[in-house]
Amino acid sequence: MNLEFSPEEITFRDEVRTFIAENYPVELRGKQDEGDELSKEDFLSWHKVLAKKGWVAPAWPVEYGGTGWTPTQRYIWSEETARADCIRLMPFGLTMVGPVIYTFGTPEQKAKFLPRILSGEDWWCQGYSEPGSGSDLASLRTKAVQDGDHYVVNGQKTWTTMAQHADWGFFLVRTNADAKQQEGISFLLVDMKTPGIEVRPIITLGGEHEVNEVWLEDVRVPVENRVYEENKGWTCAKFLLAHERSGIAGVAASKRGVERIKEIAKTEMDDDRPLLTNPFFRRKVAELEMDLTALEYTELRTLAGEAQGKGPGPESSLLKIKGSEIQQRITELTLEAAGHYGAPYFRGFGEGDNEHPIGPEYANRSAPVYFNVRKTTIYGGSNEIQRNIIAKMVLGL
């Protein structure tokens, strides 16, 4: 038992560090830290650099374009990208539908979709939630009826992140209304340009357009775009949820977030002294570091288990719960640091606007980000659902 990196791992870390320093797009620097809204172009800019290097999908099997890194290397990778404040790529292609396709897809599906995910050519979105089925995902009602070699899909999805940019979406649809809830669902890959799809924006509290409603009216989807067996889509969904949870701790990013708060609190003044010397602000920072360290070592223990072949089990709900709570506390502290300057609502500079922002730079987005990050305890299976999962699957209650 030891915590040290091997010499090879240190070499790898240095390689990663150098690569980022030399290749991270200049125009993106600082954007993640500031909580700026990111455009599709922003994401693609970094995506393409990584794709070119072959590092865009570290966790994928090598045969499909993964890196073949060990868990420790992947850990180093996420540490270093977060440390350098790199923007986090959208997960829908790379860590969600990609793994579903290479795990459950046909050879044709793999050949068609995986390279375009890696290259960034296709932008993916996720059609899971519906207005009536949030936490109770399996109650979804969007239905797909087979008509020749197509499914005809009708229904409505919601909370579809970045659907406004999407080329493709993966959708859970009901293909058998008579079966028990989870047994009548199929997993479809849908071309977002298909007639009958309408994407309507949902504006969130900070004014962001991140999520959408997706309306589907007689949308024809080729049967060959169904992943895995008909009515067995829940298997893919469960696989994906577990996969999603294991990355969702967000330790590396939260570490960066805490570092940033410390930087802020060293210069931001609390009356006559730096905010970081206020015992109660400082204590909150220390408590964040404490809880983040507990989360980090819990994740490392989980990774060690995975390396020994214990899959990310329901214990990964722990990572989701604690990770999301910590993310929220970081935004709370940033807003607290902003003081009066948390209030101005400032949506970035218009063309040619050369005025200074209002208040310190970090403060501009502190409230919108605080509001926005409330979502982390709601999405990806709300923290209430995660506690239900632990109670049932881990504790046997």
Q: Which of 33, 291, 306, 361 binds other proteins (CB under 8 A)?
A: 291
Single out the catalytic residue among 34, 244, 296, 299: 244
Q: Is-contact 334 370, C-beta < 8 A?
A: yes
Q: Which of 8, 3, 118, 25 is nearest to 69 (CA)?
A: 8
In terms of C-beta distances under 8 Å and separation of at least 24 residues, what long-range contacts does 344-352 make, across chains too?
A: 345/207, 347/207, 348/36, 348/37
**174 in contact with other proteins (CB under 8 A):** no
Q: Which of 271, 309, 351, 352 binds other proteins (CB under 8 A)?
A: 271
Give CA 208 to chain center in angstroms. 16
**33 in contact with other proteins (CB under 8 A):** no
Structure tokens at 86: 């790199």
**178 in contact with other proteins (CB under 8 A):** no
Q: Which of 108, 116, 126 is nearest to 240 (CA)?
A: 126
282 binds, among a copy of itself, other proteins, none (CB under 5 to 8 A by kind): other proteins
> How far is residue 81's CA from residue 49's CA, in Å, rounded to a whole number?
13
377 binds, among a copy of itself, other proteins, none (CB under 5 to 8 A by kind): other proteins
Looking up tokens 């010499």 gives 7
- Choose between 193 and 340: whose C-beta lies nearer to other proteins: 340
Q: Is-contact 185 172, C-beta < 8 A?
A: yes
Among positions 125-144, residues that touch other proteins (CB under 8 A) are 129, 132-136, 139
**32 in contact with other proteins (CB under 8 A):** no
Among positions 228-267, residues that touch other proteins (CB under 8 A) are 262, 265-266
**374 in contact with other proteins (CB under 8 A):** yes
Q: Which of 16, 38, 26, 36 is nearest to 82 (CA)?
A: 16
User: Is residue 244 among the annotated active site residues?
Assistant: yes
> How far is residue 92's CA from residue 169's CA, in Å, rounded to a whole number?
9
> How far is residue 18's CA from residue 299's CA, in Å, rounded to a whole number?
26
177 binds, among other proteins, a copy of itself, none (CB under 5 to 8 A by kind): none
Structure tokens at 375: 């979502």
- Choose between 143 and 282: whose C-beta lies nearer to a copy of itself: 282
Among positions 310-329, residues that touch other proteins (CB under 8 A) are 315, 318, 321-322
- Choose between 108 and 355: whose C-beta lies nearer to other proteins: 355
**353 in contact with other proteins (CB under 8 A):** no
- Choose between 193 and 273: whose C-beta lies nearer to other proteins: 273
Q: Which stretch binds other proteins (CB under 8 A): 10-18, 25-33, 238-246, 370-378?
A: 370-378
Q: Which helix (H) or strand (E) holds 305?
A: helix 279-307
- Choose between 31 and 284: whose C-beta lies nearer to a copy of itself: 284
Q: How many residues make contact with other proteins (CB under 8 A)?
A: 92
Q: Which helix (H) or strand (E) holds 212?
A: strand 209-222
- Choose between 21 and 290: whose C-beta lies nearer to other proteins: 290
Residues labelled as active-site residues: 244
